[in-house]
Chains A and B, each alone.
Chain A
Amino acid sequence: DAGITQSPRHKVTETGTPVTLRCHQTENHRYMYWYRQDPGHGLRLIHYSYGVKDTDKGEVSDGYSVSRSKTEDFLLTLESATSSQTSVYFCAISRDRGSNEQFFGPGTRLTVL
């Protein structure tokens, strides 16, 4: 499982509330990614990080922010959740940009009512 965990695994929340999802790795990999998985869209990149405090936007970053204050943790925050953010969220890690093989976490199923 490449030492990746996500918490929580399931969450139901209401529109307008803040939500934070956590990705934790024990591999000391430099690169970390947040994707969302939706039917008909596959996985789409939200944000990624290439080191502590170094992050960049993906293709669907609106409404999301991230933080990485230490190598092992990458947090995804929905400042004010909307129903369109109901999805399954996957975290992934990669040893380096050159290998490009990503290892995925188990996913977090988020429902926004």
Chain B
Amino acid sequence: AQRVTQPEKLLSVFKGAPVELKCNYSYSGSPELFWYVQYSRQRLQLLLRHISRESIKGFTADLNKGETSFHLKKPFAQEEDSAMYYCALSPYNQGGKLIFGQGTELSVKP
């Protein structure tokens, strides 16, 4: 079965604290994984993808095939990071469709 699980509905941290948003996947093959973000009153947009191994807005995510995880991390959270975060998987050769996790709402308090 192809599935993405984000175990936390809500994650609340204080400004400057480290953040880790968890994502686990189930897929029998080499996955292509993404993190999308939706800020308040804005469209869903791509934050980062595992194949590019880049850091965007201070966020990084490492694919761990052994643990089937793709957790999103940031060492020092900022208030503007408050948003809804979705982990997504794109199965190979299936029209580019995305399978999303349930989403985690990140709230960064001052």
Contacts and interface: CB of A to CB of B under 8 A. Distances in A.
A33 B49 CA distance: 19
Interface residues of B, number: 22
Main secondary structure of the interface of B (DSSP, over half): loop
Nearest to B6: A42
B101 A42 contact: yes
B56 interface: no
B86 A94 contact: no
Contacts of A105: 43
Interface string A28-40: 0001010100001
Interface in B56-110: 86, 90, 93, 95-103
Interface of A: 1, 31, 33, 35, 40-45, 48, 50, 56, 58-59, 90, 92, 94, 96-107
11 contacts: A31-B95, A42-B6, A43-B44, A48-B96, A94-B96, A100-B34, A100-B90, A101-B46, A103-B45, A104-B45, A106-B43
